[in-house]
Amino acid sequence: MKIAYGTYAMPTVPLEYALITVAEIGYDGLELAIGPRHNSMPEQIDSSKRQQLKQMFAELNLGVPALFILGSVLTEYAETHKKNLQLTAQVMELARDLDIGTRPVISMGIGGKSPSWEAQREPLLRLLEDYAELAADENFIFAIEPHSGAMVDRTERAIWIMDTLDNPSVRLHFDIVQKAAFSFDLNSCFVQRYGISSRHLMFCQTKPRFHKV
């Protein structure tokens, strides 16, 4: 098992300093949060900066478990969906330039609200089919994140999405703090049914809300 940190918690820290810091602490990798506030949008990282980061990842022996796009899959607007797909393709290009692996993981939140599950689950599937097609064409894994209060906020909904979509290019990005928030059944959803569907687990600092095991 390898342990990585994430730049989601380091929005004001330049990427090159983030790499040095997590390497000095002893982490094995760094998940990159992709967003304007983090100065990590593809257009904010030019070719020379990409070459610098690629060299640093190699020299520091750091992996990249995922590139986490700070946004949501679910949208009612075709133009927004189109822009999200374009951004995802640009992030894949960034992953290639950083040379982070033969099949990188690009993750994104699902979005929506819990009460909208019945009305929006079919539209969500149609949107995910487009991401799955892009992922297959560009050879990456697209990972979606269940989240407290969002449309997919419980075990049975995540299972329904994965069973119904049934696409090897789409997997789950599991933030374990959400287990504490809404009692997500990690065992039934991941170990028993989807042993390889979760690309990695993300641990966040939070107040204890579950029993020791």
pLDDT digits (tens, 9 = 90+) for 26-48: 999 999 999 999 999 999 999 99
Q: Taking Cα atoms as reference points, which of 108, 99, 109, 90 lies closest to residue 64?
A: 99
Q: What is the pLDDT of residue 137?
A: 97
Regions in the chain scoring below 70 on pLDDT: 176-213
Q: Taking Cα atoms as reference points, which of 46, 43, 54 lies closest to residue 16?
A: 54
Q: Tokens for 200, please give them.
A: 């990695």
Type of residue numbered 22: V
Cα–Cα distance between 112 and 91 in angstroms, integer? 23
Cβ(107)–Cβ(70) below 8 Å: no
User: Could you tell me how many helices (H) and strands (E) the chain has, helices first?
Assistant: 7, 7
CATH 3.20.20.150 fits 4-202, yes or no: yes
Q: What is the pLDDT of residue 193?
A: 52
Q: Taking Cα atoms as reference points, which of 130, 131, 132, 172 lies closest to residue 155?
A: 172
Type of residue numbered 53: L
Cα–Cα distance between 160 and 164 in angstroms, integer? 6
Q: What is the pLDDT of residue 101?
A: 87
**Chain segment 173-191, per-residue pLDDT in tens:** 877 554 544 555 555 555 4
Q: What is the pLDDT of residue 106?
A: 96
What are the domain boundaries of the chain? Answer: 4-202
Q: What is the pLDDT of residue 188?
A: 54
